[in-house]
Amino acid sequence: MTSFKLISTKLATLLAIAILASLFTMTSQAAVLWSETFTVSAAGNYDTYNSHAWVANDKLLQQNVSSTINPWTGTATDTVAIAGRTDRLGTIGIAAFFNADTASGTITNIFKTGISVTNPGTLTYDAMKGATTVTGSLQLMVQVGSQWYVNATSVTPSGSGSSTDFSTKATSYTFDFTTATNSTWYTYTPAVTGTYALGSSLTLDISQQTITGIGWYETLGTSSALYVDNMVINSIPEPTTVVLFGSGALGLFWQAKRRRHS
């Protein structure tokens, strides 16, 4: 009887240790809260932003350019479109920005309202610039309530090529809302006319807010193009399963320890 008790105590201890060790490698799966793939019906076609419920504003022209299509035929203007391309998955659209102006530093911001995303964990997206000589960057825009914010961190895509090269040359990026807590955000008010300037800076934990809109604050050099696709916001992984396993493991461990000393 004593030997059986000793064996069961050892087994409980080993089981507790094994479960505790597994906690270091366990992760609960995050859920997709929102996604945008800019779908287009046919390769070579162009869709306007407003057909996808997005808005595009041009800083230099100070006007709404959501209806401007075919970003490769613009004359001395910034043009935007959702362009159709074909890859292994069929016909897929990408958000395309093109600056045909002679002035560099032109900014076109695109944004979408009417979404509701709580507990945001990460934003993943694919981005590419049009050529190796292109200068351009993307800054994440999020709306909380009715106020827009632009993150101070800018991303210049490393991959480059034509729009048909997107599936093989685009680079995947991740913005982690949880590790960017209290990072610098600028207030911003998108407008059809007026000054497109960033407002005051502040620190804000977006992961604790409900996102009501999302977009890009985009800067392009002269005759430059940028492309974005496959935007996905995932939730923060829930720790419930890990906590339950941890509680059970600790319970087994202490029970085994008490039996050993009784």
Tokens of 197: 């300037």
pTM greater than 0.85: no
Length of the chain: 262
CB burial of residue 247 (10 Å; 0-12, 13-18, 19+): exposed
pLDDT in tens, 109-167: 899 999 999 999 999 999 999 887 777 899 999 999 999 999 999 999 998 988 888 88
Tokens of 137: 């960057």
Burial 74-108 (b: 16+ CB within 10 A, else e): beebbbbbbbbbeeeeeebbbbbbbbbbeeeebbb
Q: List alpha helices for the chain, DSSP H.
A: 2-23, 166-169, 240-261
Distance spanning both ends of the chain, measured CA to CA:
14
Tokens of 57: 């504003």
CB of 85 within 8 A of CB of 167? yes
What torsion, rounded to 10 degrees, do the Cα atoms 156, 158, 159, 162 define? 40
What torsion, rounded to 10 degrees, do the Cα atoms 100, 186, 232, 110 define? -30
Instruction: Identify which has the larger pLDDT, 184 or 163.
Output: 184
What DSSP letter does each residue of 81-114 carry, written as one string? EEEEEEETTEEEEEEEEEE-SSSSSEEEEEEEEE
Burial 181-190 (b: 16+ CB within 10 A, else e): eebebbebeb
Highest mean predicted confidence (pLDDT) among 82-86, 163-167, 205-209: 205-209
Is a pLDDT exceeding 50 seen at residue 20? no
- Place 53 in a pLDDT band, splitting at 50, 70 and 90: very high
CB of 164 within 8 A of CB of 91? no
CA distance 230 to 86: 14
pLDDT at site 79: 78
- Place 259 in a pLDDT band, splitting at 50, 70 and 90: low
CB burial of residue 71 (10 Å; 0-12, 13-18, 19+): buried
CA distance 218 to 141: 10
Is a pLDDT exceeding 50 seen at residue 25? no
Evaluated on CA atoms 38, 44, 45, 50, the torsion sign reads positive
Is a pLDDT exceeding 70 seen at residue 68? yes
What torsion, rounded to 10 degrees, do the Cα atoms 120, 114, 196, 68 define? 120
pLDDT at site 240: 53
